[in-house]
Amino acid sequence: MNLVIDVGNTAVKMAVFQNDKLLKKEVFPADQFSKKFFQIKDSYPQIKEAIISSVSHENSEMLRMIRESFPLLEFDQNVSLPFENKYTTPNTLGKDRLALVAAAVKLYPAKNVLIIDSGTCITYDIKTSEEVYLGGAIAPGLTMRFKSLHKFTANLPLITPKPENPLIGNSTATSILSGIINGLEMELKGMLDAYRSEFEDLTIIFTGGDSEFLSLPLKNSIFANSNFLLEGLNFILEFNKTQ
């Protein structure tokens, strides 16, 4: 049994896996780590190993807590990956993107896969049927677009996203919703068309915090999986046990 920990920009995700099966998942602010960690540790005494990935520097107290409980694999540049990485600046590549590619290798072997992760940023990552990671794209996420419009203008309000938006806004609020939501949907559709023109039989995975919201108008042949990153980290841990 494995403990998988993903420290993101806004929250910590902690999951328990039995082989490939997700048994438990918690999402919480970083300041609740100690409480949540010991709750899961006490609830699942069968946990034998752990992996941690962070988009920033891990808290030293957090690492100490885990190491005192389990053998810990820290996801860094020394970790073996189950695919060939052709990114030309690997030291700048986010570990979350690598974990997503690992999940694609595990769940969709010998297939061309595009992973779209809609979190703080929207990332596009492509792995080929030969299990080669080529790279992708990075764009501002949904919430970042709303906050940027509010922060860098004098009079525009901060708006909460809604699933239904008019094409033609008849107020400042609905105009912002139209511009951001409809604009992002069209951006996504354009990116999907471009990737599909480059890769045959392309499998598309939509994941991340806004995946269910943004994938609604893009349902055709797209798989939504909110746990894709965690599954990738679990696979990386299992893969490194054999290296």
Active-site annotation, residues: 96
Confirm or deny that 10 is annotated as ligand binding.
yes
Confirm or deny that 133 is annotated as ligand binding.
no
Confirm or deny that 145 is annotated as ligand binding.
no
Cβ atoms of 48 and 2 closer than 8 Å: yes
Confirm or deny that 27 is annotated as ligand binding.
no
Using alpha carbons, list the distances in angstroms from residue 75 to 78, 238, 239: 8, 13, 12
Confirm or deny that 95 is annotated as ligand binding.
yes
Confirm or deny that 8 is annotated as ligand binding.
yes
How far apart (Å, rounded) are the C-alpha atoms in residues 38 and 70? 12
Confirm or deny that 19 is annotated as ligand binding.
no
The DSSP symbol for 179 reads: I
Confirm or deny that 143 is annotated as ligand binding.
no
How far apart (Å, rounded) are the C-alpha atoms in residues 143 and 120? 7
Which string of b and e fits 30-55 if b means at least 16 CB within 10 Å? Answer: eeebeebbeebbeeeeebebbbbbbb
Confirm or deny that 6 is annotated as ligand binding.
yes
Confirm or deny that 9 is annotated as ligand binding.
yes
Stretch (H or E) spanning 236: helix 228-241
Q: How far is Cα of residue 227 from the mean position of the Cα atoms in its chain?
A: 8
- 3-state percent helix, strand, coil for the chain, nearest multiple of 5: 40, 25, 35
Confirm or deny that 108 is annotated as ligand binding.
no
Confirm or deny that 87 is annotated as ligand binding.
yes
Annotated binding site for substrate: 87, 94-97, 172
Could you tell me which residues are annotated as the binding site for ATP?
6-13, 120
Binding residues: 6-13, 87, 94-97, 117, 120, 172
**Binding-site annotation: residue ranges for K(+):** 117
